Structure 1
Amino acid sequence: MPLQLVEPGQFPDRHEASQGVVVGIDLGTTHSVVAYVHNNVPTVLEIEGGLLIPSILSVAEDGFCIGKKLRESLSSTKRLMGRGVEDAICLQFPQLMSGRDIRLKLGAHTLTPVEVASYILSYIRSGVEKKLRAPLEAAVITVPAYFDEAARVATKQAAAIAGIKVLRLINEPTAAALAYGLESGAEGIYAIYDLGGGTFDLSLLKLQKGVFQVLATGGDLNLGGDDIDHVFAAFLKTKDISYARILKENLSHKEDYEGVSRKDLETIAQHFVNKTLEISKEVLKDASLNSEDLEGVVLVGGMTRMPLIRQEVEAFFGKAPLRDVDPDLAVALGAALSAHGLTYGAETLLLDVTPLSLGLETLGGLVEKIIPRNTPLPALASQEFTTHQDGQDGMVIHVVQGEREFVQDCRSLARFELQGLPPLPAGIARVRVDFALDVEGLLTVSALEKTTGLSQYIEVRPSYSFDEKTLSTILLESQKYGREDMEKRFTMEKTLYLRNG
């Protein structure tokens, strides 16, 4: 039976398909995959003879081409989606051009990461329509669980440029769970260990009577097979990353290949594998769970074919990982099931979670968390605030994201001002602030002055994303400075109380 993402307490919002097809697209860092549901069975489509489409844009004599590594090529640009120039510099993209925004040089052309993704999606759309002889009506596209609002918006922009209607963005580990849920009908808590070409995610999902609830998630946007490839290439004393990747893939099922041993590769990969296990440990801690509480572990992503990873994951979780679905294809298959369910109706409820808390700046630079970390999506939350000065006629709404107690230690997402408040004594005006976070992780913040009905709202669409260091350490920092932050908060609140009488 097909599965569907549905908001709690609501009936499915069915997309009415015409004569077109709906698909699931895994828009990956190194490879992309597209699937659809045929006769109630999720099926991966072969595009130009392959199930895996290399996420490479190149310049050929007759224009752009997808999937072939030529002299002038761009690859792994998913890592730049929704990010700033500083991030691109840190990631050492050789094609990066100078300027305030990310633009990449490809032959005589300059392209943004969104434009690169749009070419890949256009290629997929064309391949689907040619293969199925029907227009591509709409798609569910997957993103890493730790993609923030900027990266998600960038993904939707790329799809729009490619002429693809997005039914929904869903997290990659969640999509994989949908694929496994259909196959196994299992219940209990499962860890989804997703190590792909460019990102790592660990999600804990509770499966029960058709409900998939994400209990906790964690990850690193810059930890994947690409990173191992670059270090392995340095070990091989070559600049040809493709050659290093080929050796790596062959050593996953051979002890030796072209004079290189699997042991050499595993020695290099061990550091990266350890990082994934450290993240996994933190996610379990966030959910107040131990490995003994899990029913099983699902492996997703091509990197999980490496024997070392399978061994380390089994040792860490204390149980052999499930491998019923091809790890390269599971995400696309789950996305196809989601697309089919959204179009034709289904019976499964999925509750995703927000990976980081969302809140507002209050007096003294303090953060008031409105939607805490790991809240199931979609989420609605409200809180009332008031003025702190007599006759105050405006209020700045500053939206932040993070786990720390002070604004200076969190990420600023957006600001807007509610003007025209009635000139009342301090503490009398009542402003209700509503946060609405949808299933795609996009946030709408609104403010309403209850006496006059004055209101203002904003959709949070930040122009850049976290750099990898901030993203991978933010939770550890919140724990490290937790006690110190609370002491500072208490001191500040006491000072404000005494000052305001």
Structure 2
Amino acid sequence: MAKYSIDLQAGKVKEDEAVSSVGETIVGIDLGTTNSLVAHVVEGKAVAVAGPDGKSVLVPSIVHFNSDGTTVVGDAARGYLETQPERTIYSVKRLLGKSFRDLTDVKDRFGYRIIDEDEDRLVKVAVHSEDGRERYYSPIELSAEILKTLKARIEQELGTAVSRAVITVPAYFNDAQRQATRDAGKLAGLDVLRIVNEPTASSLAYGIGLTDEDEGRTIAVYDLGGGTFDVSLLRIEQGIFEVLSTNGDTFLGGDDFDQAIVDHWRTGYDLELDTPELRGGIRLLAERAKKALSTDQQFTGDFDGKVLNLTRGEFENRVRPLVKRTLASCDRALKDAGLGKEDIDHVIMVGGSTRVPLIKQQVSDFFGKQVNDSLDPDQVVALGAAIQADVLAGNQQDVLLLDITPLSLGIETVGGLMDPIIPRNSKVPTKVGRKYTTSVDGQVKLKVAVYQGERDMVADNRKLGEFTLENIPPMPAGIPQIEIHFYLDADGILRVKATEHRSGTEQSVTIKSQYGISDEEMALMLMDSLQNAETDMAARALAEARTEAKNVLLSARKFIRQNESWLTSGQVHEIERFVDALAKSVEGDDKDEINHRLEELNTFTTPLAHEALDRNVAAAMKGKGVEE
């Protein structure tokens, strides 16, 4: 099987994570928007692993659902993008931790359907199955399919099971997106030891931050992939990587360079691209031209009976505005960090699109120094993740490790779910806050139950303590703003504080020591979480669907009461019919059936809700007052 590697630089490594058993294989994974990779360290070298055919280390981040519900991932799924786009999911990474509201402006760019039953809830993807029904998948489940493929690839390479990994994410990923990535890893059967920022991984791949002489360096990481661009500025002090600023464009990448070539040919050769086959064919030819012009001065190709030509100069004139947009992001990143171009010590190039000579030259001119592009830009992030994984495995010498929290700490939320606030392997001391609200109208008390463990349901984790936040002013559900803070000090003492901001009401509890868990018990809890990951995820999805359905049922019945003056008997009957069907589905154990009934009810009531709003606004303008 083919391998692609780089030499690790020797030197002192400082790290802030836990050490696993020395010699244990921990893999590094780049879960990318366009392509994903898995890598590990072999005899001091970071190696990206190719597939069984030995041809490519890249796994396209595409998941296709067959009519029987089975999945196809990677190159085998690519061909379905044109023939069955509604069941072929790509760019899953853009959906992680996002609500429908976040994707409103770009939802039409996807060939598959994103459901909008609630704009503020995390997004789901609807996929038609063989029996004519729709199945609903979260981005976590979809990402897990890609991770399972990578896990199988590395296991075939090593001839042994792999259960631990380091996964990279963009520096701008928020807490929800990072937690979603952890959950995807868990569902794929991986214990995610650390989530690493992609620019940090890139720096490690180039050996920056691995030696004492590199202390006190400022790094610019220019990352241009197939669909996204971002630039990150990092400061490395005593082995600690700090992200100073990040900027970019989530819809600017190599695909736009291909489109620029297509536009050039369409106008220059008066091409008629009126079928999906022609549009797909010209895009593939444009991609070939772009790659060829990275080394050649001219490209010639046949398309639909015509010979198409493109020189490097013509190509550069077309894409220069796109490159200029990336440099504007670099300028904003510098301003945000309060730095000048002269403050940058290294410029690292990441992402396959940085192979374009114009980009290298323009970026070099912008920063006033030669860019570092000696590593394969497609592999650099995965290679850096593998180096980080090797540090965690204890295979690097002279590693300074700070204390960490051994298991996740969180609270119970509606439906008996565990919401981790401090993920396992977080360094201590640490402080993390998260906002919550009430689930019942007029609620004046909120029980805060604190748990430790890696399972999705609190019933499977260890309860550490609880307290009740009282004297919450009675308000409609969802209005109170309750912030819960976890303070974990270096001695392992956890203090949990809850505050309702509108009233200033607060309450706290202190939980001491390392919670009385032995190393053996801890190992068993971690193993238990991996062995039950799929079951746990299904239980969580069902609990979330039930909770959402119960809230919608309350709202639907309230809507009938508030608007019975103008609703027709037929409309009321239909709402009640959908409500009864939803209520019946909640009693069952099929989360897809619940989601299906939810969408039915929402589809029917949405126009009525708009009419109710219009009537209330009209009444208010006439001085009659808006209905309560």
Give the shorter-chain TM-score range: 0.5 to 0.7
Aligned position for 1:386: none
The one-letter code of the counterpart of 1:223 is L
Given the alignment, which residue of 42, 65, 79 partners 1:70? 79
- TM-score between the two structures when normalised by the length of structure 1: 0.67
Aligned position for 2:322: 272
Whole-Å separation in 1 of the counterparts to 2:71 and 2:375:
33
The one-letter code of the counterpart of 2:146 is I
Partner secondary structure for residue 339 of structure 2 = coil
Given the alignment, which residue of 508, 526, 537 partners 1:454? 508
Partner secondary structure for residue 154 of structure 1 = helix
Distance change in 2, residues 1:2/1:247 (3 Å): farther
Quick check: 1:16 aligned with 2:21? yes
Distance change in 2, residues 1:84/1:52 (3 Å): same
Structure 1 residue 234, shift from structure 2 partner: 4.8
Cα-to-partner distance string for 1:80-132 (whole Å, 9 max, x where unaligned): 22222341651411211544243144775744332222111111111111111
Partner secondary structure for residue 239 of structure 1 = helix
Quick check: 1:217 aligned with 2:246? yes
The one-letter code of the counterpart of 2:382 is A
Aligned position for 1:316: 366
% identity of equivalent residues: 36
Partner secondary structure for residue 454 of structure 1 = strand
Quick check: 1:325 aligned with 2:334? no
The one-letter code of the counterpart of 1:202 is V
Whole-Å separation in 2 of the counterparts to 1:207 and 1:273:
28
8 Å CA contact 1:2, 1:340 repeated in 2: no
Whole-Å separation in 1 of the counterparts to 2:14 and 2:319:
36
Cα-to-partner distance string for 1:114-170 (whole Å, 9 max, x where unaligned): 222211111111111111101112110011111222222222222122111111111
The one-letter code of the counterpart of 2:188 is A
Structure 1 residue 231, shift from structure 2 partner: 4.8
Aligned runs of 1:27-38 on 2, under 5 Å? 27-38=31-42
The one-letter code of the counterpart of 2:19 is R
Whole-Å separation in 1 of the counterparts to 2:251 and 2:379:
21
Aligned position for 1:58: 64
Aligned runs of 1:69-148 on 2, under 5 Å? 69-71=78-80, 72=84, 73-86=88-101, 87=103, 90-91=106-107, 92-100=109-117, 101-105=123-127, 108=130, 110=135, 111-148=137-174
Aligned runs of 1:372-383 on 2, under 5 Å? 380=430
Quick check: 1:189 aligned with 2:218? yes
Aligned position for 2:191: 165
- TM-score between the two structures when normalised by the length of structure 2: 0.54
Whole-Å separation in 1 of the counterparts to 2:252 and 2:445:
44
Cα-to-partner distance string for 1:58-83 (whole Å, 9 max, x where unaligned): 35699532222213333222222222
Whole-Å separation in 2 of the counterparts to 1:6 and 1:60:
44
8 Å CA contact 1:380, 1:434 repeated in 2: no
Aligned position for 1:306: 356
8 Å CA contact 1:211, 1:350 repeated in 2: no
Quick check: 1:6 aligned with 2:15? yes
8 Å CA contact 1:104, 1:112 repeated in 2: no
Aligned position for 2:291: 249
| Deviates further, 111-120 or 144-153 | 111-120
Whole-Å separation in 1 of the counterparts to 2:221 and 2:147:
26
Distance change in 2, residues 1:277/1:349 (3 Å): farther
The one-letter code of the counterpart of 1:339 is A
Partner secondary structure for residue 244 of structure 1 = helix
| Deviates further, 121-130 or 283-292 | 283-292
Partner secondary structure for residue 320 of structure 1 = coil
Distance change in 2, residues 1:433/1:127 (3 Å): closer
Structure 1 residue 208, shift from structure 2 partner: 4.6
Whole-Å separation in 2 of the counterparts to 1:123 and 1:349:
34
Whole-Å separation in 2 of the counterparts to 1:172 and 1:194:
9
Structure 1 residue 235, shift from structure 2 partner: 4.6
Aligned runs of 1:266-415 on 2, under 5 Å? 266-344=316-394, 346=396, 347=398, 380=430
Aligned position for 1:239: 279
Whole-Å separation in 2 of the counterparts to 1:44 and 1:215:
29
Whole-Å separation in 2 of the counterparts to 1:285 and 1:129:
45
Distance change in 2, residues 1:267/1:106 (3 Å): farther
Whole-Å separation in 2 of the counterparts to 1:107 and 1:254:
47
Partner secondary structure for residue 134 of structure 1 = coil
Aligned runs of 1:170-181 on 2, under 5 Å? 170-181=196-207
Distance change in 2, residues 1:437/1:325 (3 Å): farther
Q: Which runs of 5+ in 1 are unaligned?
A: 352-376, 384-392, 396-416, 424-430, 439-443, 458-462, 464-501
Q: Which runs of 5+ in 2 are unaligned?
A: 1-9, 118-122, 267-277, 301-308, 403-426, 434-443, 447-466, 474-481, 490-494, 512-543, 545-628
Aligned position for 2:179: 153
Cα-to-partner distance string for 1:184-208 (whole Å, 9 max, x where unaligned): 8444222111122233222222335
Q: Which has the higher strand share?
A: 1
Partner secondary structure for residue 327 of structure 1 = coil
The one-letter code of the counterpart of 2:498 is A
Distance change in 2, residues 1:323/1:378 (3 Å): farther
Whole-Å separation in 2 of the counterparts to 1:51 and 1:3:
30
Distance change in 2, residues 1:330/1:222 (3 Å): same
Distance change in 2, residues 1:447/1:419 (3 Å): closer
Task: State which structure, 1 or 2, has the greater radius of gyration over its C-alpha atoms.
Answer: 2
**Count of residue pairs the alignment pairs up:** 389
Higher relative contact order (CA 8 A, sep 6+): 1
8 Å CA contact 2:11, 2:210 repeated in 1: no
Whole-Å separation in 1 of the counterparts to 2:508 and 2:172:
35
Whole-Å separation in 2 of the counterparts to 1:125 and 1:197:
23
Cα-to-partner distance string for 1:352-410 (whole Å, 9 max, x where unaligned): xxxxxxxxxxxxxxxxxxxxxxxxx9884699xxxxxxxxx989xxxxxxxxxxxxxxx
